[in-house]
Amino acid sequence: MNDSYAQLLVNYCLSIKPKQRVLVRSSSIATPLLQSLYEELLKKGAYVEHMISFEDQDRLFYDHANSDQLSHISSFYEKAVREYDAIMSIGSPFNVKSTASVDQEKKKIAQKAMTDIRKVFMERSAKKELAWVLAVYPTQSAAQESGLSLHEYSDFVHHACMLYNENPSDSWKRLSSSQEKIVQRLNQGSTLRYKHADTDLSFSIKGRIWINSDGKYNMPSGEVFSSPVENSVNGHIHFDIPTVYDGKDVESIHLDIKDGIIQDWDAKVGKDVLDRVFSIDGARQFGEVAIGTNYSIKTPTKNILFDEKIGGTIHMAVGASYPETGGLNESAVHWDMIKTMSDGGLIYLDDELIYENGRFIIDEAADLNTLFN
């Protein structure tokens, strides 16, 4: 399965060409996949470099780094962001909670230091100068966090990436074609409203661009996303799907928003995480609005890469916008928060009901609604 995964990442997701410079970031626990990736990248004629982390590296950093070290950005990573053709990040945690008890102020310093390089990353990506993909290698820690055995979690990952299909790349191309029709419809609208028993949120999308997320940046993918007009977001929303942020659990998030600014917030678990994040510049505004369309992902696993794609959910990100959507918000933060819509959720586009109970109900979505059946 590692060979099929590598071929999908290199050829479909990144479309690597000869002599392109590629950075692969992961941990040593992902060695079987890294070997397959290295072989495939070399076959494509790429120049490959690696940034490989080891067990407890992140924890050791926060425990012992001084303020200057916390603010330091790897010169190698910065060079890759500014000059390389592609960056591949393979999430493969030894321990997803390794930094859960770290001093939050230290995390804030390190996160703030990433603001400028994150902006460069997003700008080069928007200009198609930098290809990138984020994927996952199944580990025991991630499996435990999701409540699955390692075998079950590996099976979950492979299904979500459509690796069991006869031709995974063709399956993703079909998804892309289906989502493109939805994107074209959304790009004709001016306002969007999310409605649910615990949510009523409206915002303008006028002049913003909806993006077809079809596996070229995230694998797995399956979403359409854009940015709201920054000062147009009004109402309240409840994000019911639990998440992990900086190694800490956050559950049942409630936000009240006026004129684009988050005014009040609460969480059943992890309110202190919200308090810290919302003290960072730009984090109390929204940088992304999105609708998940991958119906092969059915249950949350506390991994945002998968959970935000769940068919029948929406998500919004506080913090930085993606420039390609026309969004203007800048921040060191980009945190996706997810809400279930399959139990009565409604979405209105310019007052027209286009989505009900977790499914688009417009003609443009006909192919998408049969893809995973």
Only one residue has tokens 């999430």, namely 91
Please check whether residues 132 and 219 belong to one and the same domain: no
- Give the Å distances, CA to CA, from 112 to 31, 263, 280, 350: 31, 22, 8, 37
Which pair of structure tokens corresponds to residue 348?
């209105």
Does residue 142 lie in a domain region? no
Examine the fold and report which residue of 137, 159, 178 is the final residue of a domain before the chain moves on. 137
| Cβ-proximal residues to 155 (8 Å cutoff; 6+ apart), any chain | none
Please check whether residues 188 and 113 belong to one and the same domain: no
Please check whether residues 261 and 322 belong to one and the same domain: yes
Q: What is the DSSP letter of 364?
A: G
Does residue 194 lie in a domain region? yes
How many residues are given for the chain?
373
**Cα separation, 368 vs 293, whole angstroms:** 8
- Give the Å distances, CA to CA, from 339 to 128, 208, 358: 30, 22, 11
Is beta strand 86-91 parallel, antiparallel or unpaired with respect to 131-136? Answer: parallel
Please check whether residues 222 and 95 belong to one and the same domain: no
Please check whether residues 133 and 253 belong to one and the same domain: no
3-state secondary structure of 146: helix
Does residue 161 lie in a domain region? no
Domain CATH for 113: 3.40.1830.10
CB of 186 within 8 A of CB of 215?
A: no
**Cα separation, 176 vs 167, whole angstroms:** 15
**Cα separation, 270 vs 250, whole angstroms:** 4
Per residue in 21-64, pLDDT (tens digit) is 999 999 999 999 999 999 999 999 999 999 999 999 999 999 99
Handedness of CA 52, 56, 62, 63 (dihedral sign): negative
Q: What is the residue-averaged pLDDT of the chain?
A: 93
DSSP bridge partners of 223? 213, 292
SS (H, E, C) 2-44: HHHHHHHHHHHHCCCCCCCEEEEEEEHHHHHHHHHHHHHHHHC
Please check whether residues 91 and 41 belong to one and the same domain: yes
| Helix 115-126 vs helix 75-83: crossing angle, to nearest 10 | 20
**Cα separation, 162 vs 295, whole angstroms:** 11
Please check whether residues 123 and 210 belong to one and the same domain: no
Please check whether residues 61 and 8 belong to one and the same domain: yes
Range of the domain at 249: 168-371
Does residue 115 lie in a domain region? yes
**Cα separation, 325 vs 219, whole angstroms:** 20
Only one residue has tokens 């290199």, namely 10
* pTM summary value: 0.82
Per residue in 261-299, pLDDT (tens digit) is 999 999 999 999 999 999 999 999 999 999 999 998 988
Q: How many domains does the chain have?
A: 2
The letter for the amino acid at 144 is: Q
Question: Per residue of the chain (373 residues), what is the pLDDT tens digit?
Answer: 899 999 999 999 999 999 999 999 999 999 999 999 999 999 999 999 999 999 999 999 999 999 999 999 999 999 999 999 999 999 999 998 888 888 888 988 998 899 899 899 989 998 999 999 999 999 999 999 888 999 999 999 999 999 998 899 999 999 999 999 999 999 999 999 999 999 999 999 999 999 999 998 899 999 999 999 999 999 999 999 999 888 788 999 999 999 999 999 999 999 999 999 999 999 999 999 999 999 989 889 888 889 999 999 999 999 999 889 999 999 989 999 999 999 999 999 999 999 999 999 988 877 776 776 5
Which pair of structure tokens corresponds to residue 76?
């190698």
CB of 223 within 8 A of CB of 306?
A: no
Please check whether residues 243 and 293 belong to one and the same domain: yes
Please check whether residues 311 and 188 belong to one and the same domain: yes
| Helix 57-64 vs helix 104-113: crossing angle, to nearest 10 | 100
